[in-house]
Structures are given as structure tokens and as C-alpha cells.
Amino acid sequence: DQQVKQNSPSLSVQEGRISILNCDYTNSMFDYFLWYKKYPAEGPTFLISISSIKDKNEDGRFTVFLNKSAKHLSLHIVPSQPGDSAVYFCAAKFSGNNRLAFGKGNQVVVIP
């Protein structure tokens, strides 16, 4: 039962352009949403998160947008850099519960 879904498993983008990653979820009780970045042979690294009471959170080149009515969030990376080439996982959790529900991930390739 996939509660967090990431479609379009791979994305190629030119350096300097915007990368947009999408994530849909099914459980309206999720309170927090997180994005993780993962390089091959390494563990996931926390990138940015957003609370369900907000619709936008920005940290440097990374911005996450949340549309609760659509149960949809997106991660924008601008400008994209070659070091951003990685797999990006969307995750969600309930307040008071430490379990994270992950999507399958999106491979991003930034072309120099």
C-alpha cells in the first residue's frame, strides 16, 4: 500500500535550469513532509521539509510547495547544479510518530 507516490522516475535537466520533482500522497493525516537526497552507495541525506500547516518552505536553492487539497507536494531546485545529480525521495510522517513513509524516488541528472 504505497501511501507516498513519486511518478516520472527520472529527470534530466540542464545545469542552471530548474528541476521540479513531484510527490503525491494518499493519507490526509500526514503532518510533515520531507525530501531526502541519496547518492549511490550512501545513505539518504535530509534536504528540506514542510509542515502541513504551511504551503511553502524555502532553503537556499531548494523550495518545497505543499498543496494539501490536492495531496501533492513538489520540490524545486534552482539553479540546478551537477552536484544535484542524485536520487530524491519524498517522505511523509504523522505528528508524534517517528515512522517515515517513503516514495520510490526520482533520479535527477543535471547535465553540465
Partner 1 sequence: NAGVMQNPRHLVRRRGQEARLRCSPMKGHSHVYWYRQLPEEGLKFMVYLQKENIIDESGMPKERFSAEFPKEGPSILRIQQVVRGDSAAYFCASSPRRQESNYGYTFGSGTRLTVV
Cα separation of 17 and 108, whole Å?
12
Q: How far is the CB of 55 from partner 1 (least distance, A)?
A: 14
Query: Residue 8, exposed/middle/buried by CB under 10 A (0-12, 13-18, 19+)?
Result: exposed
C-beta of 17 vs 104, nearer to partner 1: 104
Per-residue binding letters, 42-81, with partner 1 (x by CB under 8 A)? xxxxxx-xxx------------------------------
Per-residue binding letters, 91-110, with partner 1 (x by CB under 8 A)? x-x-xxxxxxxxxxx-----
Cα separation of 50 and 10, whole Å?
23
C-beta of 1 vs 83, nearer to partner 1: 1
Q: How far is the CB of 14 from partner 1 (least distance, A)?
A: 27
Q: How far is the CB of 112 from partner 1 (least distance, A)?
A: 26
CA separation (Å) from 9 to 12, 28, 59, 87, 89? 11, 24, 24, 9, 10
